Amino acid sequence: MPIYQRAVDLMEAELGDEIVALDANGGTCFGFNGVASAVWRALAEPKSFEALRDGLIEEYEVGRDQCEAELAALLTDLTARGLIRSVAG
């Protein structure tokens, strides 16, 4: 199973439960909603999909199937934007 980790260092500001982040090298600004912020915080250390999913299920009232689908979509988006990468676990 792949392990996910941050691929860039971002300058971050917390706004409630959300994060606004700037990639100083790329000059791109990102806004993370509450769930994306929780995933980004969790990825301060490399984590497996299962560990991320389990953390979200604990924190939010969400079913396993919905959580897995939405987490997979989020990880795909963050990977496409170059913010995270997966490595062999």
The CATH code of the domain that includes 55 is: 3.90.930.60
> Are 1 and 47 a contacting pair, CB within 8 Å?
no
Nearest Cα to Cα of residue 52 among 67, 63, 31, 65: 67
pLDDT in tens, 41-78: 999 999 999 999 999 999 999 999 999 999 999 999 99
pLDDT at 82 over 80: yes
pTM score: 0.92
- Percent of the chain as helix, strand, coil, to the nearest 5: 40, 30, 25
Widest distance between CA atoms in the chain: 38
Domain total for the chain? 1
- Kind and range of the H or E element at 52? helix 49-59
**Structural domain range at position 16:** 2-88
